[in-house]
A = this chain, B = another copy of it.
């Protein structure tokens, strides 16, 4: 089994989701149409829809319900990205200009608002109250996560615990509920729904850690943005936290001064190199592997099926990916 095969098996349903995404962001207002499509066409791995569809196999697979969940979650993810880019002052994402760079912050703000409202219109077509409660809670946690990230910008005194809490809110929650809601709307048992959530949570945590590593060591071409973008924006990720704790005092001082200058000092490349050599990359990869192992352990307790095999493969792929 490889990733292409998994995507191929889901091809028809993913195609339906893609079409519904396009229809949903369709608007009579030219500006909205342009900025929403810009965002949609930037692509992305659509991993949330993939998780929704695969988790749907643990119950009675109903593509009509699953696609509502998948479309809503992908739209919420998109809305978050476009607002995040405002907060991070980001110009590039996936190799394309961000909405705020192509237009401006105001357009980005209301494009995000509009996409979010559309997501709610899609999901409210489902009647299960729990779906809406789970979604609302996740949205709130995601907001807090984003705000925590701003609060912690350039902050050199961050604990591992604080980092984990932040990425849980920022990333893991939405992946966790992708799995949870996929199983839930398919009528899987509460035990299975809960396990799907837990699986998604572990995978989501590992996914974000891998993302944070790739940001530091990846190639600009495959990242779609310059290496070290997180650090440039003041986002102190786990490899940096590790370096701040474990580097020798002189090197630590260099990183601290960079953060204190809020990125204004001219030695970014030096700082990046220090972090790369600090052992923080290996530490973060190691931790993400521990999360993936936990994800696999949860998966083993779920009924064996083609879907669980696919999830297993994706889990193993996440730590090996380079984009």
* Residues of chain A having any CB pair with chain B under 8 Å: 27, 29, 31-32, 83, 86-87, 105-106, 109-110, 113-114, 116-118, 120-121, 123-127, 129, 132-133, 135-137, 139-140, 142-144, 146-148, 150-151
Contact = CB atoms under 8 A, between A and B. Distances in A.
A32 B109 CA distance: 18
Contacts of A123: 136
A87 B106 CA distance: 6
A110 B143 contact: yes
Nearest to A80: B113
Main secondary structure of the interface of A (DSSP, over half): helix
Contacts of A124: 129, 132-133, 135-136
Contacts of A142: 117
Given A32-B147, A109-B87, A140 B125 contact: no
A29 B133 contact: no
Given A83-B113, A106-B150, 4 more contacts: A87-B109, A113-B143, A117-B139, A120-B139
A144 B86 contact: no
Contacts of A120: 120, 132, 135-136, 139-140
A117 B143 contact: yes
22 contacts: A27-B144, A31-B151, A32-B144, A83-B109, A109-B109, A110-B147, A113-B143, A114-B140, A114-B147, A117-B143, A120-B132, A120-B136, A120-B139, A120-B140, A121-B137, A123-B136, A124-B135, A124-B136, A125-B133, A127-B129, A129-B129, A132-B132
Contacts of A151: 29, 31
Nearest to A107: B150
A173 to B, nearest CB: 12
Nearest to A108: B109
Nearest to A109: B109
Contacts of A126: 129
B129 A110 contact: no
B144 A114 contact: yes
